[in-house]
Structure formats: structure tokens, C-alpha cells
Chain A
Amino acid sequence: MAARYVVSAAAVSDLQRMAQAARELAGADGRVDAVALAGDAGVLAPEAATPEEVVGRLGRLADRLLVYEGAGGWLRGDVWASALRDALDEGAEAVFVADSPSAREAVGRVAAALGSSCVSMCDRVDRDGDRLVATRSIYGGVAEGRIALPNAPAACLFAAGKFEGEAGGPAAAVERRPSAAEPYELASVGEEPVVKTVDLAGAAVVVSVGRGFAKAEDIELVQPLVQALGAELGCSRPVAEDFKWLPKERLVGLTGTSVTAGLYLALGISGQVQHLAGIKGARIVAAVNSDARAPIMRNADYVVVGDLYKVVPELVAALGGSA
């Protein structure tokens, strides 16, 4: 039987990414079925107004969009898990879901219920003989591990990433199914939107500040550079947690955010392992540091050995004036 994959996600771009990953494994013969949960006010997972919008964006990446209706007013992990299990009932090699808070509950429940292999933080999944092997960062980014997944359907949670591809071609068919009854008595008592002022994960350019700065006020020096580059401001752990010069939302690193920027500029950052873990996804890393021996210097593409207090204004000038 041709390989079948089930994919799902809480955001459309993530769903596209999951579908693409599945499509690569499924090939032309295989089938990719996307699972969506629709509730009282549009589609809950992936978040969209209508299922048609979702299939429009999926294009030929998925063969079918299975829409489970009546999923309620908010995205529940247990309801999602039931939907995934129903979709997996027809048999599948694996289920790919992009990581998000509810996704973890959904995938965890599915894996436990079906006795399937489960892996998180995947960067990619490949076929190795008769089994699937996932590649993920392990031990906080110190190493990259390959995890064998013998028990089908392999339940894979994918780490954050960017969808880079096309979703052209004929749209998938939409199949509506009823959502399973709510397994547990959860009641949503209230909700509050979280206003996110900082988006490090999605920024194209990130400028980060570290201990090389003598005091909080000095970070102002970086503003013209941030503006000239159209960048998001990030920082290393000492700045966010020890000195508290910047809020935790700006923390780049293992316990903070991982960047996917095209350019990551590290100013006065020594480059501890935890920080390096967060910048692996950056295409180009440039660093300015007075210490030629700092770990960041071995982990950057371009390194300027010098006093950042002098170099930063020069960078602004070289970029064509102050903003």
C-alpha cells in the first residue's frame, strides 16, 4: 500500500510546512491528508476563517483536508487528539504536527493511545530502510541526533521553521467529519489576548546585545543600527536575566527564542552554548567583540575584533546615514 501521512498544525504556514515534509516522503504515489478542527467561529486548527481558505493555501501539498466539525469554541488538545486518531484509523506511516502548546497534548495523547513512536523538536524526518528516522537537536543543541521510529504511525512534533516552497496546483478535497464528543470536562472560563511587541522568531534581521555593554543606557547606541537594518532587538541571557536591562521576550537562546533570520548581528556577546543554540537557524552570523578568543568568534561567519562602542556608529554610517 502506498504510504499515507497525516499532517496538522495550529497555523496555516506551519500546516503548509508539515504537508510539504510529508509530501517529500510520500512522493507521487503516497497520500497526504491534512487534519483541521472547525469550531464555533471558523477553523481552530489551523487558525483560519474557512476550510476553503486552508485548502487554497495547501494547494497540491495535501490530497485531502479532513475537517472535524463541532470542535467547540477553543482549540483543545484532547479534541484534537481524537480527531487525529480518527484520521489515523485508516492507517498511516506517520503524523506530522508543528509544535505548539496544544499540539503537544494532541500528539502526546495520540502516541500514548496508539503505542506509536513519538519524537519532538524534529528538524526533518527521513526514510531509512523500512523505518522512519527523525533528526532533531538533542541536549540543548549540543548535538544533532537521529532518532529511529519503528512503531507506526510515528507521531512527530516539528520544531519551528519557515515554510519555503510553493503551494500551487489543484486544491485538496475537503471532507467533513464530526468531531468526537468532548472526552473531558474542561470549561474555558476566560481568555485574554497576549500582545506581542517582540517577534524574534520571525524577524529577518536580528541585532543582539550582550555583556560587552557597560550599562543599560548604552543599549540606546544600538537603536540607530536597529533602525537602519530594520531589525528586531534581541539579547543574551545576562542582559535579560542577570542585569534585567531588557525583558525576557528579547532573549535569544536555549531558554529564549531561536531565530530564523537571514542576518544575526551579535554585539558584545561572548557566545555561550545556550546562546549559540538559539542562533543556529540564522543564515549569516556576524559578531563584534573585543575578545578575539570569545566562543562567538568561532561560531560566526564574519567577525569584527574591536570596540563595539566605536564600531557600531561606524556601521550606521557605512549603512548610509543614521536613521
Chain B
Amino acid sequence: MRIIVCAKHVVDSTEIRWDEGRGEVMLRNLPTKISDYDRNALEAAVVLKETGDAVGLEVVMIGGEPAVKTLKEAVAMGADKGYLVEGGWDDPFDPTRTARALTEAIGSLEEPDIIMCGLVSEDGYSGVTGPALAQMLDLPYLGPVVLLEVDAAAGSVEAVLDMGSVRRTVKVPTPCVLGIDSLMNVPRLPTVLQVMKVKADRIGRISLSSLGLTAGAAELTPAAELVGCASGAVERKRVVIEGPAHESAVKLVESLRQEGVL
């Protein structure tokens, strides 16, 4: 079976903060990485390769030069080759645009049996890109996947989906798109040495413009755009209660009673 994993190059969510001075989200000069849930997808795919269920494993990542090191890390996890889709964008607010770019990029490669992606991306958190991709490719979609079994001979996939109140096992013939949940596995971390060993010939490049998606193309016009933002912090009262434990406790309980939450 051939697998393609869509992995996203993102700014580390734990480092992002609100810049009071500029009145915007501080994103510059921050460390970047593979989006967490996509790492779960990569791990799931690599495991299938190790068991022999998958024969070819490729990674597709939208981004520019800064994304190359991230793509190498993804390939170092155990993929055969990585493709950098150039001519993209930074903001994570239009999932359908991303899905369109991925659709065209995947279309230019050898047809896969399984396409995997993380359930959500670490920056956009929309959870919609995978299904949108499935729709554009006219393929079935299964997600959130927590357990996976593949029957290469029969050309089918059986996945356990975590639907909240129920865990459902669903079977579907390939090709299909899978949205991998973080509960599925603990992704390996390639060592710096292993990433260094990924040579340039394992990184391919696909330019969106060569696929007909130039910068001004209709498909790439964002259908959802950030037009304003404010600090996410909620203004709290910050009433400080100090003193011996007994008194503080009594004061706190009184205040909470007055707020009506007790």
C-alpha cells in the first residue's frame, strides 16, 4: 500500500504570545516544528511501513525554505520521500484553501491508497482540512482514528473512531483519507543525527504555480480571512486575599458567596 501523509509546518503553539506593544500575535523568530497531530499521523504511517503493510511512504508539506528542515524531520521519522509544496501562505484560517493546494499536489504524485493527516492542526485547530481534502478527492474519510488495521491484499482499512460517547469500528475500501487522533500513538522523535542523514535527494519540490495555482488564482483566494484580533486574555478582578490561612479562607468563601457561585 502506498501512503501519503500531509504534515504541516507550524510555529510552536507553546511559544506564541500576545504582543501588547504592537497589538498583535507575536509569531516572528519563534521555533517551528511539525504540527503535533500530524506527527501522530506520521507515526501511524511509519508503523505500517515497519510491519510491511505499507510499501511506499511520502510526506507532503506546504511551505517555503524554512519548512525544509521540518520536512526533513518528518522524512527522518521513516518516510521514503518528502515533497515541499511551494507557493503557499502562512495564515492558518482558511482550511479549504489548504485542502485545494493539497489536492492538486497529491494529484501530481503517484496515486496513494491511504492519505493520512492529523485530526487538527496545532495553529488553526479547525479539524476540517482532512474532510475537505477527502471531498475534493472524492474519497471516503474516517476520523478521529485511534486504532488502525490495514489489509493490503484486500485493499481495505479498518479503523476505530473515537466519537466521544462511543468508539466505533468502521471498515472502508482504499483509497481513503484518515484523520489521526493524538490518542493513537506516541510519535517517535528522530534524533538530530537521523535528520542530518536525510539527504537532499529525498526532498522533492512541487510548485503550486506549475499546477496551475498561481498567486492570483481563484482557488487560492482565501475564503476566510483574519480581519482583526485582540488579546485572548480575559480581564479578571485580581482581588488579592492575604493573611493567615483561616482568615483568608473565610474571606474567600464570603466573596464567592457574594458572587453567587456557591
* A interface with B by C-beta (< 8 Å): 74-75, 77-78, 81, 99-102, 104-109, 111-113, 115-121, 133, 137-151, 157, 183-194, 196, 205, 229, 254-255, 262-263, 273-274, 276-277, 280, 283-286, 292, 297-307, 310-311, 314-315, 317-319
Task: State the CA gap A128–B126 with chains docked (Å).
Answer: 22
Knowing A142-B25, A306-B248, the reply to whether A112 touches B238 (Cβ < 8 A) is: no
In the complex the two chains form, is A273's CB within 8 Å of B167's CB? no
Contact of B158 among A149, A189, A274, A299 (CB under 8 A): A189
5 smallest beta-carbon distances between A and B, as pairs:
A108-B131, A314-B249, A184-B140, A112-B135, A310-B245
Residues on the A chain within 8 Å of B253, using CB? 315, 318-319
Q: How many residues of B contact A (CB 8 A)?
A: 81
**Could you give, for residues 223-262 of chain B, a 1 whenever the CB lies within 8 Å of some chain A CB and a 0 otherwise?**
1111111111110111111110110111011011001111
Minimum distance in angstroms from B53 CB to a CB of chain A: 18
Task: State the CA gap A284–B141 with chains docked (Å).
Answer: 41
Task: State the CA gap A222–B163 with chains docked (Å).
Answer: 32
In the complex the two chains form, is A139's CB within 8 Å of B132's CB? no
Which DSSP category, helix, strand, loop or mixed, fits chain B's interface? mixed
Minimum distance in angstroms from B125 CB to a CB of chain A: 6
In the complex the two chains form, is B237's CB within 8 Å of A116's CB? no
Task: State the CA gap A172–B158 with chains docked (Å).
Answer: 40
Given contacts A185-B172, A303-B239, 7 further A-B contacts (CB under 8 A): A75-B163, A101-B143, A117-B223, A147-B227, A148-B226, A149-B223, A311-B249
8 Å CB contacts to A: which residues of B188-234?
A: 223-234
Q: Does B64 contact A (CB under 8 A)?
A: no
Task: State the CA gap A2–B164 with chains docked (Å).
Answer: 37
* B interface with A by C-beta (< 8 Å): 13-14, 16-18, 25, 27, 93-96, 99, 122-136, 139-144, 158, 161-173, 182, 223-234, 236-243, 245-246, 248-250, 252-253, 255-256, 259-262
Task: State the CA gap A69–B131 with chains docked (Å).
Answer: 23
Knowing A302-B241, A319-B253, the reply to whether A78 touches B93 (Cβ < 8 A) is: no
Task: State the CA gap A273–B228 with chains docked (Å).
Answer: 21
Q: Which residue of A has the minimal Cβ distance to B36?
A: A255
Minimum distance in angstroms from A130 CB to a CB of chain B: 14
Task: State the CA gap A205–B225 with chains docked (Å).
Answer: 37
Task: State the CA gap A115–B123 with chains docked (Å).
Answer: 22
Minimum distance in angstroms from B47 CB to a CB of chain A: 21
Knowing A138-B25, A306-B245, A311-B249, the reply to whether A121 touches B125 (Cβ < 8 A) is: yes
Task: State the CA gap A186–B124 with chains docked (Å).
Answer: 29
In the complex the two chains form, is A77's CB within 8 Å of B96's CB? no
Residues on the A chain within 8 Å of B262, using CB? 229, 263, 319
Task: State the CA gap A118–B166 with chains docked (Å).
Answer: 27
Task: State the CA gap A274–B232 with chains docked (Å).
Answer: 12
Q: Which residue of B has the minimal Cβ distance to A138?
A: B229
Knowing A111-B132, A148-B225, A186-B140, the reply to whether A139 touches B241 (Cβ < 8 A) is: no
In the complex the two chains form, is B226's CB within 8 Å of A284's CB? no
Minimum distance in angstroms from A193 CB to a CB of chain B: 6
Residues on the A chain within 8 Å of B135, using CB? 81, 108-109, 112-113
In the complex the two chains form, is B232's CB within 8 Å of A301's CB? no
In the complex the two chains form, is B163's CB within 8 Å of A144's CB? no
In the complex the two chains form, is B131's CB within 8 Å of A105's CB? yes
Residues on the A chain within 8 Å of B125, using CB? 120-121, 140
Task: State the CA gap A317–B242 with chains docked (Å).
Answer: 18
Knowing A138-B229, A146-B226, A280-B232, the reply to whether A185 touches B140 (Cβ < 8 A) is: yes
In the complex the two chains form, is B171's CB within 8 Å of A314's CB? no
In the complex the two chains form, is A273's CB within 8 Å of B14's CB? yes
Task: State the CA gap A323–B199 with chains docked (Å).
Answer: 64
In the complex the two chains form, is A318's CB within 8 Å of B128's CB? no
In the complex the two chains form, is B261's CB within 8 Å of A263's CB? yes
Task: State the CA gap A229–B226 with chains docked (Å).
Answer: 41
Task: State the CA gap A121–B252 with chains docked (Å).
Answer: 34
In the complex the two chains form, is A189's CB within 8 Å of B224's CB? no
Task: State the CA gap A101–B17 with chains docked (Å).
Answer: 29
Task: State the CA gap A118–B173 with chains docked (Å).
Answer: 28
Contact of B167 among A102, A147, A191, A274 (CB under 8 A): A191
Residues on the A chain within 8 Å of B224, using CB? 117-119, 147-149
Task: State the CA gap A147–B232 with chains docked (Å).
Answer: 15
Minimum distance in angstroms from B158 CB to a CB of chain A: 7
Residues on the A chain within 8 Å of B95, using CB? 108, 111, 118, 120
In the complex the two chains form, is A139's CB within 8 Å of B123's CB? yes
Residues on the B chain within 8 Å of A115, using CB? 96, 223
In the complex the two chains form, is B249's CB within 8 Å of A304's CB? yes
Minimum distance in angstroms from B122 CB to a CB of chain A: 8
